[in-house]
A = this chain, B = another copy of it.
Amino acid sequence: MQLHDLIIEDAILMELGVKSKLEAITELTESLSRSGRLIKKEEALSSLLAREQAQTTGLGDGIAIPHTCTSAVHQPIIAFGRSSEGIDFASIDRKLVNFVFLILSPKSSTELHLKILARIGHLLKTEGFINGLLNAQSKIGVLEVLKEYESSLGEIEPPDDLPSVCVAGAGNGGLAMASHLSLLGCKVNLFNRSPERLLAIQTNGGINVTGEINGFAKLNVVTSDPQEALEKTDLVMIVTPATAHYTLANLLGPYLTDGQVVVLNPGRTGGALEFTETLRRIGVKTYPFIAEAETLLYACRITNPAQVKIFSIKNSVPLATIPAYHIPDVLPSIKKVLPQFTPGDNVLKTSLNNIGSVFHPALTILNTAWIEERHGDFEYYHEGASPSVAKILQEIDAERVSVAEALGIKVSTAREWLYLAYGAAGNDLYSAMQANTGYSGIKAPNTLDHRYITEEIPTSLVPMASLGDQLGVPVPTIKAIIHLANILHRRNYWAEGRTVERLGLAGLSVQQIRRLVEEGKLT
Contact = CB atoms under 8 A, between A and B. Distances in A.
Interface of A: 318, 320-321, 323-329, 331, 342-346, 349, 404-410, 416, 419-420, 423, 425, 427, 509-511, 514-515, 518-519
A419 B418 CA distance: 11
17 contacts: A323-B511, A324-B514, A325-B408, A325-B515, A327-B408, A328-B405, A328-B406, A328-B407, A331-B405, A342-B410, A343-B404, A343-B405, A343-B408, A344-B408, A344-B410, A346-B408, A511-B519
Contact of A345 (B326, B343, B409): B409
Contacts of A328: 405-408, 510
A-B interface, 5 closest residue pairs, ranked by CB to CB distance from nearest: A327-B408, A325-B511, A343-B408, A325-B514, A343-B405
Nearest to A325: B511
A344 B331 CA distance: 24
A351 to B, nearest CB: 14
Given A323-B511, A344-B410, 18 more contacts: A318-B410, A321-B408, A325-B408, A325-B509, A326-B408, A327-B408, A328-B407, A329-B510, A342-B405, A343-B405, A343-B408, A343-B409, A343-B410, A345-B410, A349-B410, A423-B425, A423-B427, A515-B519
A436 to B, nearest CB: 13
Contacts of A323: 511
Contacts of A324: 408, 514
A514 B427 CA distance: 36
Contact of A425 (B349, B425, B509): B425
Contacts of A321: 408
Contacts of A407: 328, 343
A509 B329 CA distance: 11
Contacts of A329: 510
Contacts of A405: 328, 331, 342-343
Nearest to A426: B423
Contacts of A419: 416, 419-420, 425
A409 B342 CA distance: 9
A328 B323 CA distance: 22
A209 to B, nearest CB: 30
Nearest to A513: B325
B518 A514 contact: yes
A314 to B, nearest CB: 14
Contacts of A408: 320-321, 324-328, 343-346
Contacts of A326: 408, 511
